[in-house]
Structure 1
């Protein structure tokens, strides 16, 4: 696996530019983010198809040796003011350790996966995730999750500001409505990739099995 980790994968034909911007990504510097694939979110958004896509990406990531991150958002008595505000405005934020809060048991995470618990939208806010990724040498992120206009965009936007090169996997994300989903992805690609790029699961999986010469 060590020799394979050193090889760069083929670039992905993403929108609005070929990802990553410098054409350099490998198993050792890339992570797959699985955001909000919790029982409550999946049921509320009827996101079975998106979960299936995330499962395919997870299997591909494990075979290729990528770092895997799974994030759960939940409410507890010590939640931040932001988390309380989001919940009171109507966001579905399950209580921590409840059945709705739990990640889908269909996601078979590797033993070295990074598990993040957060109260607000961004999986980076007060979680130590940035430091963990830096320590592992990660600089490229494949982003999936529920909902697109909440956890996905907030996390990707924060990651972009931190200097990570991001790609949102469109069919492995779902918004609270088709319009919000598509609008959020347009914001991501606005200004020649203001917050990163967008591609489909098939393109990512194909690239994970193709190495640059």
Structure 2
């Protein structure tokens, strides 16, 4: 499959030209444990329905990425069954109704291989797509993501998923420090706290784009379509 060439994506603080052959779509932690009742997000007292608004925009972008042959990477936050990669400081933090590793309605909370750890059906990865299992908030920490991006010659990351101010933000910060041009899709991200979502996006694009650019699904789809027609 031939990939589209370069396209200009409407974004803030300024439009950004992306070489789509060197661009990866990174979908952060769209997991049942975060988006569905009974998962880790709800154990923390959150309204998990706040995250569902990102599913439709992400699905549209995912379909376009597949159609245009972009590299697609899904991430999942979770831990080994013996919790050897889950620091006590993380497991013990806060006052959830269930802690990481405890049995829940979708299996053990935030444990790899359990139903709750997996990605929601609407965005489920194809067998050909890369799934990065990460023990922390950022997708680069203790994972193979950096090596995968280098192997595929990736320079630009289009990032979406949940939650905006935690795992999405951390991944964009990590990517920025590693020299990647990072674009967050505003409507493809969501938070349990709408005000954190808004502030998180403002922080990314502040000061001339200190961490990256902020766009939306419609703008990316428009740029992809234009680049496809031009190629």
What is the TM-score with the length of structure 1 in the denominator? 0.89
Cα distance in 1 between the residues matched to 2:167 and 2:132: 13
User: In terms of mean alpha carbon deviation, does 122-131 or 39-48 score higher?
Assistant: 39-48
The number of equivalent residue pairs is 204
Instruction: State the alpha-carbon separation in 1 of the partners of residues 219 and 140 from structure 2.
Output: 26
Give per-residue Cα distances to partners, 1:7-35, cap 9 Å, x unaligned.
Answer: 4232011010111xxx2412x21100111
Matches within 5 A, 1:12-161: 12-19=9-16, 23-26=17-20, 28-43=21-36, 44=41, 45-46=48-49, 47-76=51-80, 77-81=83-87, 84-90=88-94, 94-161=110-177
Q: Distance in 2 between matches of 1:85 and 1:197?
A: 32
> What's the offset of the Cα at 1:86?
3.7
The structure whose residues are more often strand, as a share, is: 2
Q: Residue 69 of structure 1: SS of its match in structure 2? A: strand
Conservation of the 8 A alpha-carbon contact between 1:86 and 1:120: no
Alpha-carbon RMSD across the aligned residues, in angstroms, is: 1.8
Contact 1:68–1:110 (8 Å) recurs in 2: no
Partner SS state of residue 7, structure 2: coil
| Structure 1: gaps spanning 5 or more residues | none
Normalization by structure 2: what TM-score?
0.82
2:189 matched to which residue of 1?
A: 173
Structure 2: gaps of 5 or more residues: 42-47, 101-109
Aligned-partner Cα distance in 2 for 1:9–1:209: 11
| CA spacing shift, 1:189–1:88, aligned 2, 3 Å | farther
